[in-house]
Amino acid sequence: MTTAEASVERLRGFLENATDIETIADLENQLLDRETRLEQLRGQLRTVEDAVSSATIVVTIRENAIRPAVRVEATSYPGHEDPGLSCPGSSGLTVDQGADVTVCFEIIDIGDTDLTGFQLRDPVIDVTGDDLLPVFGSMDQTLEPGESIVVAAEIVADRTWRTQTNVTALPVDADGTVREGRSVADTATVSIAAVDAGGVPGFGEGLRRSVDALVLVWHSLVYLAATVLPFVWIPPLVWWWYRRHRGHGASEGSIGREGATVMEPEEAGVE
């Protein structure tokens, strides 16, 4: 529109300086066209300005997607001498029945969000948060992604255990607000075998040994069958050969006796 305004002003200047009637008439026609075009552009501009002033602006705010996650790892080691200081232990442990055992739990924030409000429970060994010994960090703290805490529980292995440790946690927003309705959880297990210190296996150990013995017998029978099977045809073949040759010899003896010529005494030269 700025160009159209400049063109109109330029034509008006030419018209003021024109002296020839024909030139004046031509300039007036051009000026009229330019002014008409300029007014059209101004009308379009006013329409656009009115539309913009009454337009509705819609702003959509979406929450950034977060992926909170937690992992728990359970291990164990014998004894109560050091309250969890030897954590982590092993994933499988065998001790005498009635021995002291320390169970270790490492809780790790493996997501992209801070976690808090940790709860740990293991119904197999009857352990809850009140029974835990802090080793590294605390169950009450907030974990950042990649960080971990270690706690321990002291138990007595009066029988064979296979734990079922469950941990839950709550994600925390960037402003520190806890998301009460969105929790994360994980479960871990560790085996603790308790054997009779006198050398007599308990029921579980006896059952395991019986099963191992049955498996060994079965494997032996399969091996024996695989060894004998290629030669199972030999006894029937020997028996068949024996019967065939025995029958053939008996037949030849019968034919010999039947075909012999009985000679009279005279024919034999006996008087």
Q: Give residue-wise pLDDT tens across range 94-122.
A: 999 899 999 999 999 999 999 999 999 99
* pLDDT at residue 186 in the model: 95
* Identity of the highest mean pLDDT range in 26-30, 108-112, 211-215, 241-245: 108-112
Confidence of residue 84 (pLDDT cuts 50, 70, 90): confident
- Token pair of 172 as six digits: 């925390």
Pairing of strands 148-157, 161-162: unpaired
Q: Degrees (nearest 5) of the Cα angle 150, 79, 138?
A: 15
User: Does the pLDDT value for residue 90 go beyond 60?
Assistant: yes
| Cα distance between residue 131 and residue 117, in whole Å | 17
* pLDDT at residue 245 in the model: 75
pLDDT per position as a tens digit, 229-253: 777 667 777 787 777 777 655 555 5
| Cα distance between residue 137 and residue 228, in whole Å | 65
Long-range contacts of 4-9 (CB under 8 A, 24+ apart): 4/34, 4/37, 4/38, 4/41, 5/38, 7/34, 8/34, 8/35, 8/38
- Token pair of 102 as six digits: 């320390």
Spatial neighbors of 147 by CB under 8 A, at least 6 apart, are 108, 109, 137
CA distances from 226 to 46, 136, 220, 222, 231 (A): 100, 58, 10, 6, 10
What CATH architecture does domain 70-195 belong to?
A: Sandwich (2.60)
Cβ atoms of 70 and 110 within 8 Å: the answer is yes
Which among 78, 71, 80, 81 has a CA at the least distance from the CA of 150? 71
Confidence of residue 271 (pLDDT cuts 50, 70, 90): very low
Cβ atoms of 31 and 11 within 8 Å: the answer is yes
Instruction: Give CA 220 to chain center in angstroms.
Output: 38
